[in-house]
Chain A
Amino acid sequence: MGLLDRLAGLLGLKKKEVHVLCLGLDNSGKTTIINKLKPSNAQTQDIVPTIGFNIEKFKTSSLSFTVFDMSGQGRYRNLWEHYYKEGMAIIFVVDSSDKLRMVVAKEELETLLNHPDIKHRRIPILFFANKMDVRDALSAVKVSQMMLLETIKDKPWHICASDGLKGEGLQEGVDWLQDQIQAMKI
């Protein structure tokens, strides 16, 4: 990094690039959340099931995020692990209204945490307990209980309730993620 770049960085003119993986089961709302985080003029109206993955970019006050929005469909989930190396943080989206598949989300999280590319790295994981607007959705606390999040000891994690359609709770999560990434770098 040149002197000019560093200066620009210090002055907040040029933002640091961060690669983030967005994971979660199909229909949990990953693309909707990422779409909502993008600047309002770049947002799309209709969200369709992701095939393979999409790369999206958005900026916060101090970081420039590049998000790998992975498809959550069963047949694409084996693609996830190829991007673990590049990810500096993980956003894991859970559909709080789908009680039946909470075990599947838990299983996928377990597989993720036990992967050699993730296991020994202290990377922050942000959980979105999404679809809080649905009538009998589980609370964020209940979701973290069912997902056994308290057993994650060696990585910083945070769960926040969200509504991807309205964008509620997303900023809180992204702020936490930004703090973690900055703390990690220093």
Chain B
Amino acid sequence: MTSSLGAVRGVQHRDEREPVSVERSNETNSKWLDAHYDPLANLYTFSSCTALLDLHRDGEAKLVVGDLGTGLCNMKLKVYKGTSLMTENALLDLPTGVVTFLMDQNEPRTPAVAVASGPYIYVYKNLRPYFKFTLPALDVNLLEQDVWNQAKQDMIDPMTLKEMLEGIRDKADVPLSVRSLRFLMLEQEEMESFVNLHKHHPIKRQTVITCMGTLKKNMADEDAVSCLVIGTESAEVLILDPEAFTILTKMNLPSVPAFLDVTGQYDVEFRITMACRNGSLYILRRDSKRPKYCIELSSQPVGLVRVQKNIVVGCSEETLHAYTQKGKKLWTVYLPSSITTMGLLDQKSRGFQAVMVGLASQEVHLYRDKNLLNIIRTPDVVTSVCFGRYGREDNTLIMTTKGGGLIIKILKRTAVFEEKDTSPGPPLAQGVKLSVPKKTKLYVDQTLRERENAVAMHRIFQADLYRLRLMAARAYVKALEGSVAPISSVQQEPLQMNAVVQGIGPKFKLTLNIQNTSINHPSIHLLISFLYDERLYSMENSFFKIPLLVPGLNYPIETFVDCLSDKGISDLIKVFVLREGKSAPLLTAHINMPVSEGLAAA
């Protein structure tokens, strides 16, 4: 890549998968009318070789198809009217693009059909051959020419010729001509005759057309004169004058273009988007001989469609990416199957545009932005899609299949594509910006002050923190020393206790769960004593013995408390676990009694 390019790398973020529920095209609830299906139409083509146009200016649009035939023979330019084939013209080579355009201002304004095939563009008017444009020949390798000249004068034999050509092939900057490459492929016995047959003709190096499009000359009108834009195998983009068929502009690309899209006007400003075989998109503009922007895709492009100002490109790894015309990535959709073809659905009456994607799973998906709007199931894998005015119907979808079938569907007059987001993902509300209030002066002053005194503030904070920790540690030690914690840390009697109060009053049930946490040392001779306000509470037994505590087991000890007050006040009850003969408790628990909700027992 040249350094002048601003490379934009697509960021991968897997956020959407095949949506769960999207309206499938079935018989009853479809947006499409099945106008025609001929599985044996014998039509083998791609989207770039189909075009719709009003050929005879009679208000009835025809379908022009560059039929690839078997790939070796039967290449034809076919014209369909309604459901039947109207005319066909034989083509000499495989068509790589079919476009319709207006060549001149002459009345009647019949559109011309341009068919790109090999190094030629055949222009038809009224379905009759009108003009043939040939791409200019490329420079020939001088060394190669010398070698062939020597062969012509019989100065070298075919074997020497072969060796010399191989040497040139390995070293030279300019590639060999097709003739030399063919010669190098031959067996020894065939060489002699090949050389004798061809040596008298000068060698030529010819490039071929890979893709073709149209660009309005100086007006944006529907019926304005258009230039042809072609991409070639020699990684060049040519813009041809519609009347004289001279090359108006020539631009170079870093790779061979496979798909192109053109927008704008030649005399004003235009953009040509090229999807190239090196897996990059290049965007060319007027007055620049080299690409202005480059978008590096993660895989090979298999289709290119422009929706308004955005570029939607289909990739071989079953994804659909959208970019702005400056190369900023907008979204990615992951498809359930690989892409076979792509096309634009432009419903002019509603100003609605969407991308049609033909998939290998015998479906055509319709995407508006990244939302899947409609799925058309087809009886065979679709290889070309074309939407527009056909016959007298404005919204007609024409598809051809892998098996050579022709499918024509008409969009219902009442059909409206719902533009709801059908893909799972973050909710819409997430994208809504919160209205954050403006920064007040106080806030600004405060932050300024914080910034200036950061070190002092940190020191003060640290000192306070240490003080706090120290105080906490002291309180903890004090609690342990006074055995006022519910856990006993005495080595001989490791005990743990928690208390549960049940009931709504005035009688409460107090359950003390006492556990000996030592490993193998049972506790004996333990006592429990309660301390409470005798005006508020009364207990049957406020002092009793606990049985032997086996290590590890939980001993629930239940006792009842009566609340004597009906004034809605509550107090603390303290529980002490004591050892016989010692006045300092082993552990202490404070029970916050709840307010008695029932009336005092009368």
Pick the contact of A101: B34, B35, B412 (CB < 8 A). B35
B200 at the interface (CB under 8 A from A): no
Q: A77-B413, A107-B33 are in contact. Are A100 and B349 (CB under 8 A)?
A: no
Tally chain B residues at the interface, Cβ within 8 Å. Answer: 19
Contact check, B393 vs A100: say whether CB atoms are below 8 A apart.
yes
- Does A184 belong to the interface (CB within 8 Å)? no
Interface flag for B502 (CB, 8 Å): no
Contact call B82/A74, Cβ cutoff below 8 A: no
Q: How far is the CB of B380 from chain A (nearest CB, A)?
A: 20
Write the nearest CB–CB distance from B351 to chain A, whole angstroms. Answer: 13
Report if B521 contacts A (CB, 8 A).
no
Chain B residues whose CB sits within 8 angstroms of the CB of A99 once the complex forms: 36, 82-83
Residue of B at shortest CB range from A73?
A: B392
Q: Is B391 a contact partner of A74 (Cβ separation < 8 A)?
A: no
Minimal beta-carbon separation of A111 from chain B (angstroms): 7
Q: In the complex, which residues of chain A have a beta carbon less than 8 angstroms from the beta carbon of B413? A: 74, 77, 104, 107-108
Q: How far is the CA of A104 from the CA of B36 in the complex (A)?
A: 12
The answer on a CB contact under 8 Å between B394 and A100 is no
- Asked whether, in the complex, the Cβ of A100 is within 8 Å of the Cβ of B33, the reply is no
Interface flag for B373 (CB, 8 Å) = no
- Select B392's contact among A27, A75, A77, beta carbons within 8 Å: A27
Q: Is the CB of A100 within 8 A of B391?
A: yes
Contact B34 A98 (CB under 8 A): no
Q: Is B435 an interface residue (CB 8 A)?
A: no
- Number of contacts between A and B (CB, 8 Å)? 46
A101, B410: Cβ atoms closer than 8 Å:
yes
Other-chain residue from A98, A101, A111 in contact with B414 (beta carbon distance below 8 A): A111
Quick check: B35 and A100 within 8 Å, CB to CB?
A: yes
A103 at the interface (CB under 8 A from B): yes
Beta-carbon contact of A100 and B36 below 8 Å: yes
Q: Which residue of A lies closest to B34 (CB)?
A: A103
Contacts of B83 in A (CB 8 A): 99-100
Contact A104 B414 (CB under 8 A): no
Q: By the criterion CB–CB under 8 Å, are A103 and B392 in contact?
A: no
Chain B CB within 8 A of A69 CB: no
| A55-103 with Cβ < 8 A to chain B | 74-75, 77, 98-103
A27, A100, A104: residue with the most chain B Cβ atoms closer than 10 Å? A100
The answer, yes or no, to whether B408 is at the interface (CB within 8 Å) is: yes
Shortest beta-carbon distance from A92 to chain B in Å: 16
For residue A186, give the distance in angstroms from its CB to the closest CB of chain B: 38
Contact string, A114-126, partner B, CB cutoff 8 A, digits 1/0? 0000000000000
Distance, CA A111 to CA B412, complexed state (A): 11
Q: A74-B413, A98-B392 are in contact. Are A104 and B349 (CB under 8 A)?
A: no
Task: Find the B residue at minimum CB distance from A136.
Answer: B84
A98 touches B391 (CB 8 A): yes
Q: How far is the CB of A17 from chain B (nearest CB, A)?
A: 32
Q: Are B392 and A101 in contact (CB under 8 A)?
A: yes
A residues 97-156 touching B (CB-CB < 8 Å): 98-104, 107-108, 111, 136
Residues of B within 8 A of A163 (CB): none
Q: Is the CB of B35 within 8 A of A104?
A: yes
Within the complex, what minimum Cβ distance (angstroms) separates B79 from chain A? 15
In the assembled complex, how far is the CB of residue A93 from the closest CB belonging to chain B, in whole angstroms? Answer: 14
Q: Is B394 in contact with A74, judged by CB distance below 8 angstroms? A: yes
Q: Which residues of A contact B391 (CB under 8 A)?
A: 98, 100-101
Contact with A along B20-50 (1 / 0, CB 8 A): 0000000000000111100000000000000
- Whether B349 lies near A74 (C-beta < 8 A) is yes
- Chain B residues near A102 (CB-CB < 8 A): 35
Q: Which A-chain residue is minimally distant from B414 (CB atoms)?
A: A111
Cα distance A75–B414 when bound, in Å?
A: 11
Q: Mark A15-35, 1 if CB is under 8 A from B, else 0.
A: 000000000011100000000
A136 to B81, CA, bound (A): 13
Residues of A within 8 A of B35 (CB): 100-104
Inter-subunit contact A104/B82 (CB<8 Å)? no
Question: Would A100 and B408 count as touching, CB distance under 8 A?
Answer: yes
Asked if residues A26 and B412 are in contact (CB atoms below 8 Å), the reply is: no
Residues 76 to 92 of chain B near chain A (Cβ within 8 Å): 82-84
Cβ < 8 Å to B, chain A residues 140-180: none
Q: Is the CB of B349 within 8 A of A103?
A: no
Residues of A within 8 A of B392 (CB): 25-27, 98, 101
Contacts of A25 in B (CB 8 A): 392
CB distance from A30 to the nearest CB of B (A): 14
- Residues in B whose Cβ lies below 8 Å from that of A98: 82, 391-392
**How far apart are A175's CB and chain B's nearest CB, in angstroms?**
31
The smallest beta-carbon distance between B505 and chain A, in angstroms, is: 70
Residues of A within 8 A of B393 (CB): 74, 100-101, 104
CA distance in complex: A39, B380 (Å): 55
A75 to B412, CA, bound (A): 12
Contact among A26, A77, A104 with B410 in the assembled complex (CB-CB below 8 Å): A104
B37 to chain A, nearest CB (A): 11
CB neighbours (8 Å) of B84 from chain A are 136
- Type the 1/0 row for B434-452, where 1 means its CB is closer than 8 Å to any CB of A: 0000000000000000000
Q: Which of B368-399 contact A (CB under 8 A)?
A: 390-394
CA distance A183 to B422 in the complex (A): 55
What chain B residues lie within 8 Å of A27 (beta carbons)? Answer: 59, 392
Chain B residues with CB under 8 Å of A108's CB are: 413
- Cβ proximity bits B544-588 to A, threshold 8 Å, 1 near / 0 not: 000000000000000000000000000000000000000000000
A120 CB to closest chain B CB (Å) equals 22
In the assembled complex, the CB of A165 is this many whole angstroms from the nearest CB of chain B, namely: 17
In the assembled complex, which residues on chain A have CB atoms less than 8 Å from the CB atom of B414? 111
Distance (whole angstroms) from the CB of A78 to the closest CB of chain B:
8
Closest chain B residue to A106, Cβ basis: B33
Using A27-B392, A74-B349 as known contacts, say yes or no to A100 and B412 having CB atoms under 8 A apart: no
Residues of the B chain whose Cβ atoms lie less than 8 Å from the Cβ of A103:
33-35, 410
* C-alpha spacing A136/B82, complex, angstroms: 12
Residue of A nearest to B410 (CB): A104
Nearest-Cβ distance from residue B296 to partner chain A, whole angstroms: 44
Q: Is the CB of A100 within 8 A of B34?
A: no
Closest to A49 in B: B59
| Alpha-carbon separation in the docked complex, A126 to B36 (Å) | 26
- Closest Cβ neighbor of A107 among chain B residues: B33
User: Which residues of B have CB within 8 Å of A104?
Assistant: 33, 35, 393, 410, 413
Which A-chain residue is minimally distant from B80 (CB atoms)? Answer: A100
Task: Name the interface residues of B216-234: CB closer than 8 Å to any CB of A.
Answer: none
Mind listing 6 A-B residue pairs with CB under 8 Å? A74-B394, A98-B82, A100-B82, A104-B393, A108-B413, A111-B414
Other than the known A74-B394, A98-B391, A99-B82, what 19 A-B pairs have Cβ atoms closer than 8 Å?
A: A26-B392, A27-B392, A74-B393, A74-B413, A75-B349, A77-B413, A99-B36, A99-B83, A100-B390, A101-B391, A101-B392, A101-B393, A103-B34, A103-B35, A103-B410, A104-B33, A104-B35, A107-B33, A108-B413
Closest 7 CB pairs of A and B: A103-B33, A100-B82, A99-B83, A103-B35, A100-B35, A100-B391, A100-B83
